[in-house]
Structure 1
Amino acid sequence: MIAIARATGMNVIDALSVFSPYQVIKTRPIEPSSAEILSQVHHADLMAELQFRTSKKHYPRELRKGIDLIPFPHDGSVRTWIDSIDPGDIRQQMSQETGMALTYIATQLTENKLNPSLAIAASRAGGGSFATGLVVTELITPAEGGWQIRAREDELLEVSDDVLVEAISARIHLLQRRVKQRKEAREYAEKMTELLG
């Protein structure tokens, strides 16, 4: 249906909203919130922005010109989107609405994936744009989901210092968890290799 809409020049959101479960897609603003946009900025770009703001002598803003932001989806972009709209129990609400186990949802997030049903459930639970959930999960493009051409670049420049630092702190925490998970997975694989000879 999306391919047909694109081929015929039809608005993809209009085409999707005809079908369940996408009928809700136009009941909320199509455009993403500031938090949702910032969630799709890679942690390296967040850290670079902090450098530009805090040490203009060593990191003049001119250095940024001509360098594009790291494209999304990036590693962890689905989880950071979930975190950006999480009212505190978003995973439980996603599980209740879809009937999918929390362990399955956790696996999806670890693998940086989310099926459309879970994306819709997450948007509903978090109060976010239904369209943005479909953008983040790559069902539709940012342009089709109402994103401005330079939405991420503009948001990065406009975000307050405290929000920027909070976002960086959250990403570092996520990176620490990933490093720990990879270490544990490697150690488990080594033990299994030893046991199996």
Structure 2
Amino acid sequence: MPISAKAFQDWLHQAAPSASTADICRISGIKRTTLAQQLVRGKVTETTVVSISRALGLSPLAALASFEQFAELASPAPPPTPAELVSQVATMDLLRVVISRSSPVQGGDGEEGGSVLPALSPAPHATSVRNWVDAVDDGELRHRVSAATGVAPQNYSAQLTANRLSPELAFATARAAGVGLTGGLVATGLITEDEAGWPPGAKQSALEALSNGELTALAGERLQALGKSLRRQEQEQAQTEKIWEHLG
């Protein structure tokens, strides 16, 4: 759902009326050739809008909401669900929490106290997109997204396997799931948790609300998925090496 070049230029003129294209590229870190190519094609990426809004000290969420296709972001959004919050906890962080719970700290009087929750990494992480979709999927989500966007289910699944999702599909997925529209944008890394308005410490609170059994089961599912991914990579690497051997 790229931004039309005209809409982008109108927004940029209002956001930074005295700044030149060179100025914008310099402060945002965007290459001039990259921005020029996008303008020539008539489509500017959401990433470009977010980068420029950050450089100008503007809210990326408000910047996106100023464009028609993201206008819904201007409306108050429900907070992320506990499942969405937990989905954005990296697997390694999740395992550290499991270990932390099994190793309670000692209180000042020598008795066991509560466990100390390790600091959590910010989203996104290596499986953030797949985890987020799984967290909001009721079993029919992929079909609803496909019907709404015209994207074939297999193409949608291919993006999830690669742990990526275009902003358009992330937006459509959140809408089809009936959750806050910023969840997918956070999972894909387009905007940060803070920029999305997620409450500070929300992920920690969601983790603390999980029982030991729920936490351990979730960690087991993550490890199983990680094992499958690693085995697939090893098989692909072995096939690549065989091909090179035959060619060599």
User: Residues 108 and 114 of structure 1 are in contact (CA less than 8 Å); yes or no, is this contact kept in structure 2?
Assistant: yes
| Match status 1:118 vs 2:182 | no
How far is the alpha carbon of 1:82 from its aligned partner?
A: 0.9
1:189 partner SS: helix
Q: Which of 76, 92, 100 is the equivalent residue of 1:44?
A: 92
TM-score normalised by structure 2 residue count: 0.67
Stretch moving more, 71-80 or 147-156: 147-156
* Equivalent-residue separation in structure 2 for 1:193 and 1:102 (angstroms): 33
Q: Aligned pairs, how many?
A: 195
| Match status 1:161 vs 2:197 | no
Deviations 1:95-141 (A, max 9, x none): 33222233433332233221101101211222221112111112222
Deviations 1:43-71 (A, max 9, x none): 2222222223234379x778847x52233
Residue 94 of structure 1 corresponds to which residue in structure 2?
A: 145
How far is the alpha carbon of 1:38 from its aligned partner?
A: 0.4
Stretch moving more, 49-58 or 96-105: 49-58
Are the structure 2 counterparts of residues 186 and 24 from structure 1 closer, same or farther at C-alpha, using a change threshold of 3 Å? same
Are the structure 2 counterparts of residues 161 and 26 from structure 1 closer, same or farther at C-alpha, using a change threshold of 3 Å? farther
User: Residues 30 and 146 of structure 1 are in contact (CA less than 8 Å); yes or no, is this contact kept in structure 2?
Assistant: no
User: Residues 88 and 128 of structure 2 are in contact (CA less than 8 Å); yes or no, is this contact kept in structure 1?
Assistant: yes
User: Residues 76 and 110 of structure 1 are in contact (CA less than 8 Å); yes or no, is this contact kept in structure 2?
Assistant: no
Give the unaligned 5+ runs of structure 1.
Answer: none
Stretch moving more, 166-175 or 12-21: 12-21
Amino acid at match of 1:25: L
* Equivalent-residue separation in structure 2 for 1:50 and 1:2 (angstroms): 35
Q: Which of 53, 63, 66 is the equivalent residue of 1:15?
A: 63
Q: Mapping of 1:37-116 within 5 angstroms?
A: 37-56=85-104, 64=116, 68-116=119-167
2:182 partner SS: helix
Amino acid at match of 1:192: I
Give the unaligned 5+ runs of structure 2.
Answer: 1-48, 107-111
Are the structure 2 counterparts of residues 196 and 96 from structure 1 closer, same or farther at C-alpha, using a change threshold of 3 Å? farther
Percent identical pairs in the alignment equals 34
Amino acid at match of 1:123: A
Stretch moving more, 186-195 or 49-58: 49-58
Residue 133 of structure 1 corresponds to which residue in structure 2?
A: 184
TM-score normalised by structure 1 residue count: 0.81
Residue 45 of structure 2 corresponds to which residue in structure 1?
A: none
Residue 221 of structure 2 corresponds to which residue in structure 1?
A: 170
User: Residues 104 and 116 of structure 2 are in contact (CA less than 8 Å); yes or no, is this contact kept in structure 1?
Assistant: no
Larger Rg: 2
* Equivalent-residue separation in structure 2 for 1:153 and 1:126 (angstroms): 23
Amino acid at match of 2:132: W
Are the structure 2 counterparts of residues 8 and 72 from structure 1 closer, same or farther at C-alpha, using a change threshold of 3 Å? closer
Residue 32 of structure 1 corresponds to which residue in structure 2?
A: 80
* Equivalent-residue separation in structure 1 for 2:218 and 2:157 (angstroms): 21
* Equivalent-residue separation in structure 1 for 2:181 and 2:96 (angstroms): 30
* Equivalent-residue separation in structure 2 for 1:176 and 1:154 (angstroms): 28
Say what the alpha-carbon RMSD is for the aligned residues. 2.8
- The one of the two structures with greater contact order (alpha-carbon pairs below 8 A, sep at least 6) is 1
Are the structure 2 counterparts of residues 92 and 192 from structure 1 closer, same or farther at C-alpha, using a change threshold of 3 Å? farther
